[in-house]
Chain A
Amino acid sequence: MSQPSPVAVTVPVSVATPECAPASGRRAQERAARRAAAPWEDDREIVREILGGSRAHFDKLYDAYFPRVYRFALKRLRDPGEAEDVTQEVFVTVFRALHTFQGDSSLLVWIFGITRNKVNRRFRRPRPRMESIEGEALEVPNEEAATDHTVDARRILDRCQHAIENQLTPLQRRIFHLKHLRRQSIRTIAGSLGKSEDAIKANLYRMRRAIAAAAPGLEQLLDA
């Protein structure tokens, strides 16, 4: 049987307002996160071992990433069944493509990218029909989908606009205006509003979360 999940013993680092941490603290958090993400020394080595047929290394990778993928999906999709479908899709993709992993980016970044794309696809188009885990084959639905990206982008922008106008507090709207339209630095905004820089960063973080929640698939704009 598999070993207990290594991530189960890691100490979660708060992400409530990551921008609030001082730069040195943030770097330490990021280092801790990298260690927590990969309880092995070398991504390429674990991939080599898995491709060599090592069950122990397969379990290590699965234990390290299953909770991350599932939690990420569940938090956004808010449906355990959907989160399970996405988790299955992600790992099928990961293990099918593992031989192509060159180590140019970390496994963390690679698996995160796959996870985010799979979650976003759920927002873009009718839900793909997954085969039951009980079935013999583990098939991922065809990536080809009739998607009108222009319409999608327009819809996402409209939702962003709506969220900014209706879901942000007056203070957040003011900060939004100064940061994104007037292009002011956080220090300048803090000075002009009589707030601490941490307070501005925390508001920006909450504002982003509100907009992202109101406009699912926001990351598609990065590919547009």
Chain B
Amino acid sequence: MAVVAREIANDVAEDERREFAEAGPGPAPADPEFEAKLREKLWRMLRRRLGRAPEGERLDRAGRKGEPPRA
């Protein structure tokens, strides 16, 4: 049974990969507000990880927030 189940699992994984790639219609669209909020959160997270200030915060010339600008 384990071997057969593994075969089926493999076939199911292939079915799912194909489904994911084709992006067929889903049960329901996502909440646009969630999609937009997550996009902005991720972008801010990425910017922090890249060592860049989130947009709107000028850290490049002013140093850390709240510190006086560097010469």
Number of A-B contacts (CB under 8 A): 156
- Which residues 55-105 in A have Cβ within 8 Å of B in the complex? 55, 58-59, 62, 66-68, 70-72, 74-75, 78, 80, 83-84, 87-88, 91-92, 95-96, 98
Contact of A12 among B2, B12, B22, B47 (CB under 8 A): B22
Q: In the complex, what's the smallest C-beta–C-beta distance from B19 to chain A, in angstroms?
A: 5
Which of the 9-residue segments A28-36, A121-129, A141-149, A188-196 touches chain B? A28-36
Assess whether A92 is in contact with B30, with CB atoms less than 8 Å apart.
no
Q: At the interface, yes or no: A212 with Cβ under 8 Å from chain B?
A: yes
A-B contact pairs, 28 of them (CB 8 A): A14-B24, A32-B22, A33-B23, A34-B21, A37-B23, A50-B46, A67-B26, A68-B23, A70-B30, A72-B16, A74-B28, A80-B31, A84-B34, A87-B38, A95-B42, A112-B17, A133-B37, A160-B8, A161-B1, A181-B4, A205-B15, A208-B11, A218-B12, A219-B9, A219-B12, A220-B9, A221-B5, A222-B10
